[in-house]
């Protein structure tokens, strides 16, 4: 039998995502009630600009006092889609203190203070769900937390930012330069007026921290994630990638060490073979590749941002939390029992693609090869092209640590025959 008293929901934020959440709650009210076992009611909407017309939302529900809304005591679930660290952090903890569970899409806050938020939820016996914080509509958090809870995840490799994937895909498919591709992304609405969070990898790094923490049952904060942006990727890099049968993606990579004692989390541009499933992810789409011991290789693909896709993930969490409330239970909380250490980037082992500008004369290749050997970095392939006293030398290594490669490059810069290091890029997804 369906409960007649509605579950009351407070919505914090009514922008692109929040307004879509409110719309779906209204237009799909009967379906949501049937799936939950009780009706859900929008009890209040906290905004910064109360005078703005919000279609489908009763103006009487709108308030600028978010704190008073979450303190009301009759709120069952708080949906937080305002983003940022404060006031979101205080509002979420206040919601727990006043008896409400929380659904959030706030990747930055969860990456920075996820442990504290989980502790607050546990202290008050409430739920904290955040499927929408990573990869929009793609079901990813729940499969890692629940479907793979009995398995051992060894690697998570993914494209988790649609803006950067659109830009890199445009550079690859048209030969455009970075700025030209960014300008098109901005004109189409894929990139913000200030794209720094996307193109410098901050957004992807926050998502990597969340994914690593869940996948490896360890606390991984944003500060633990090595981050490199993609603003230095050039059309020449794509030409080199194509010569290797690769393309370039900005990847979030979370890995368990071979001995199982530590993990790494990093975000940076990388070449990946065209045969890898992630190479075919085009436009503003996201995809995450998960490697687990028993399940093997799994791929999750779909739209990673936008009002409707993100709202879909929020509503999925809302249904789950409401079902838990009706059942007198809570869902999975933080799982950090493994407490694995996060290794520094210097210990990460991968392949490298290094492009050098060198003098076009005999003996240069031998000098370069000697430097690699002296630093314990094995060379896989070498390509050299020269003209009018100048040459380009491209070296692809076997697997080497980041620290050893850094030492190699420093030594190469000291050679009189090396004019400069044009680019260094990791090669992933073998």
> Which residues participate in catalysis according to the annotation?
207
Whether residue 215 contacts residue 159, with contact meaning beta carbons closer than 8 Å, is answered with: no
Q: How far is CA 359 from CA 63, 269, 367, in A?
A: 68, 28, 11
- Distances in Å between the Cα of 118 and the Cα atoms of 64, 155, 207, 327 are 27, 24, 17, 20
Cα separations in angstroms, 206 against 114, 122, 200, 398: 11, 23, 12, 30
Q: How many CA atoms lie within 13 A of 29 on its CB side?
A: 13
Give the list of residues 6+ apart from residue 370 with CB closer than 8 angstroms, or none: none
Q: Which of 228, 234, 235, 265 is nearest to 250 (CA)?
A: 228
Query: Can you tell me the distance from the alpha carbon of 228 to that of 232, in angstroms, rounded to the nearest whole number?
Result: 10
Parallel, antiparallel, or unpaired for β 296-303 and 390-397?
unpaired
Q: Which has the closest alpha carbon to 149: 220, 217, 212, 221?
A: 217
Alpha-carbon span 406 to 402, nearest angstrom: 6
Q: What is the DSSP pairing of strand 418-427 with strand 349-359?
A: antiparallel
SS3 state of residue 295? coil
CB 423 within 8 A of CB 369: no
* Selection from 384, 365, 373, 366 nearest residue 408 by Cα: 373
Rounded-to-integer distance, Cα 403 and Cα 352, Å? 12
Closest CA to 257 of 342, 371, 336, 351: 342
Cβ atoms within 10 A of the Cβ of 68, count?
Answer: 11
Classified as helix, coil or strand, 308 is helix
DSSP 3-54: -SSPEEEEEE--SHHHHHHHHHHHHTHHHHHHHHTS-EEEEEEE-S-TTS--
Instruction: Return d(Cα 270, Cα 190) in angstroms, integer.
Output: 21
């Amino acid at each position: 039998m369906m409960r007649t008293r509605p579950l009351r929901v407070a919505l914090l934020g009514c922008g692109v995502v929040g307004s879509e959440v409110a719309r779906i709650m209204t237009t799909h009210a009967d379906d949501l009630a049937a799936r939950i076992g009780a009706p859900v009611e929008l009890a209040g909407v906290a905004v910064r600009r109360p005078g703005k017309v919000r279609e489908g939302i009763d103006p009487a529900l709108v308030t600028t006092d978010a704190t008073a809304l979450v303190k009301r005591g009759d709120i069952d679930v708080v949906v937080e889609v305002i983003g940022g660290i404060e006031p979101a952090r205080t509002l979420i903890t206040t919601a727990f203190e006043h008896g409400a569970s929380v659904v959030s899409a706030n990747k930055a806050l969860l990456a920075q203070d996820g442990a504290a938020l989980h502790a607050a939820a546990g202290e008050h016996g409430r739920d904290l769900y955040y499927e929408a914080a990573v990869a929009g509509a793609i079901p990813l958090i729940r499969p890692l937390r629940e479907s793979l809870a009995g398995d051992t995840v060894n690697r998570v490799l993914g494209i988790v930012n649609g803006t950067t994937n659109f830009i890199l895909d445009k550079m690859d498919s048209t030969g455009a330069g970075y700025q030209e591709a960014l300008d098109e992304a901005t004109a189409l609405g894929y990139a913000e007026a200030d794209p720094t969070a996307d193109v410098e990898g901050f957004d992807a790094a926050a998502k990597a921290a969340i994914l690593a923490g869940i996948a490896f049952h360890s606390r991984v904060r944003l500060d633990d994630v090595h981050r490199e942006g993609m603003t230095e990727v050039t059309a020449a890099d794509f030409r080199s990638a194509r010569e290797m049968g690769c393309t370039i993606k900005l990847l979030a990579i979370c890995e368990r060490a071979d001995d199982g004692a530590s993990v790494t989390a990093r975000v940076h541009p990388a070449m990946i073979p065209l045969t890898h499933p992630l190479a075919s992810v085009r436009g503003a789409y996201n995809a995450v590749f998960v490697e687990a011991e028993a399940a093997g290789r799994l791929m999750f693909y779909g739209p990673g941002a936008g009002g409707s896709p993100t709202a879909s993930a929020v509503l999925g969490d809302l249904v789950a939390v409401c079902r838990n409330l009706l059942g007198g239970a809570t869902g999975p909380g933080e799982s950090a029992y493994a407490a694995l250490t996060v290794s520094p980037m210097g210990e990460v082992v991968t392949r490298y693609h290094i492009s050098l500008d060198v003098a076009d004369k005999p003996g240069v290749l031998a000098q370069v090869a000697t430097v690699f050997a002296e630093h314990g970095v094995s060379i896989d392939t070498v390509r050299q092209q020269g003209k009018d006293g100048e040459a380009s030398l491209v070296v692809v290594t076997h697997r080497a640590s980041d620290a050893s490669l850094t030492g190699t490059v420093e030594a190469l810069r000291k050679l009189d025959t090396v004019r400069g290091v044009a680019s260094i890029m990791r090669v992933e997804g073998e």
